[in-house]
Chain A
Amino acid sequence: MELSLSLAFRAALQRELKLAWRRRGDLLHPFAFTLLVATLFAIGVGAEITLLQRASGAVAFLCVLLALFLSVDGLFRPDRDDGQLDHLLISPVPLPLLLSARLLAYWLVHGIGLTLASPLLAMLLRLPADQLPVLMLALTTATIGMSAIGLIGAALTVPLKRGGILLALIVLPLYVPLLIFGCGTVAAQANGEPIAAALYLTAALSAFLATLAPFVAAIALRLGMD
Chain B
Amino acid sequence: MQKFWIWLTRFASPPVFYRVAGLWRPWLGLATLLFGVPALIYGLFFAPADYLQGESYRIIYLHVPAAWVSMLAYVAMATAGAAALIWHTKLSELAVVSIAPLGAGFTALTLLTGMLWGRPTWGAYWVWDARLTSELVLLFLYLGVIGLASAYGDARRGARAAALLSLVGLVNLPIIHYSVHWWNTLHQGSTVRIFGESSIDGSMLWALLASAMAAKFYFAWSLLGRLRLQLLAAESEKAWVAKALNLEPADA
Interface stretch among B63-71, B143-151, B225-233? B143-151
Which residues does chain B contribute within 8 Å of A174, judged by CB atoms?
168-169, 172, 176
Q: Which of B16-24, B180-188, B194-202, B237-245 contacts A (4 or more CB under 8 A)?
A: B180-188
- What DSSP secondary structure best describes chain A's contact surface? helix
Taken together as a complex, chains A and B put the C-alpha atoms of A115 and B219 apart, in Å, by 47
Chain B residues within 8 Å of A, Cβ to Cβ:
85, 137, 140-141, 143-144, 147-148, 151-152, 157, 160-161, 164-165, 168-169, 171-172, 175-176, 179-180, 182-183, 186
Q: In the complex, are the beta carbons of B148 and A170 less than 8 A apart?
A: yes
The reply to whether A177 and B175 form a contact with Cβ atoms under 8 Å apart is: yes
Residues of A within 8 A of B (CB): 152, 156-157, 159-160, 166, 169-170, 172-174, 176-177, 180-181, 184, 187, 201, 205, 212, 216, 219-220, 223-224
Q: Which residues of B contact A223 (CB under 8 A)?
A: 157, 160-161, 164
Report if A169-B151 is in contact (Cβ < 8 Å); known contacts: A184-B186, A223-B161, A224-B157: no
Judge whether A224 and B182 touch: CB under 8 Å: no
- Chain A residue nearest in CB terms to B167: A216
Nearest A-chain residue to B85, judged by Cβ? A219
Question: How distant is B231 from chain A, measured CB to nearest CB, in Å?
Answer: 22
Query: A184's closest neighbor in chain B, by CB?
Result: B186
The CB with the most chain B CB atoms within 10 A, among A157, A166, A180, A187, is that of A180
Assess whether B152 is in contact with A166, with CB atoms less than 8 Å apart.
no
Are A187 and B186 in contact, CB atoms less than 8 angstroms apart? yes
Residues in B neighbouring A224, C-beta threshold 8 A: 157, 161
Additional A-B contacts beyond A159-B152, A174-B169, A224-B157 (17; CB < 8 A): A157-B151, A160-B152, A166-B144, A166-B148, A169-B140, A170-B165, A173-B140, A176-B137, A176-B176, A177-B176, A181-B182, A184-B182, A201-B179, A219-B85, A220-B161, A223-B160, A223-B164
Pairwise interchain contact B151-A216, C-beta atoms closer than 8 A: no
Partner pick for B144 among A173, A205, A216, CB 8 A cutoff: A173
Please state if B183 and A184 are interface contacts (CB–CB under 8 Å): yes
Assess the A173–B141 pair: CB atoms within 8 A: yes
Partner of B157, one of A159, A170, A176, A180: A159
21 A-B pairs whose Cβ atoms sit less than 8 Å apart in the complex: A156-B161, A157-B151, A159-B157, A160-B151, A160-B152, A166-B151, A169-B140, A169-B143, A169-B147, A170-B144, A173-B140, A176-B180, A177-B172, A177-B175, A177-B179, A180-B180, A181-B179, A201-B179, A216-B168, A220-B164, A224-B161
Residues of B within 8 A of A157 (CB): 148, 151
When distances are taken between beta carbons in the complex, the residues of chain A under 8 Å from B186 are 184, 187
> Which residues of the partner chain B approach A173 to less than 8 Å between Cβ atoms?
137, 140-141, 144, 176
A212 to B137, CA, bound (A): 21
Tell whether, in the assembled complex, residue A156 and residue B148 are in contact, meaning their CB atoms are under 8 Å apart: yes
Q: Report Cα–Cα, A157/B140, bound state, in Å.
A: 17
Instruction: List chain A residues, Cβ under 8 A from B143.
Output: 169
- A177 neighbours in B (Cβ, 8 Å): 172, 175-176, 179
Interfacial chain B residues near A172, Cβ < 8 Å: 140
Cα distance, A177 to B176, chains bound together (Å)? 5
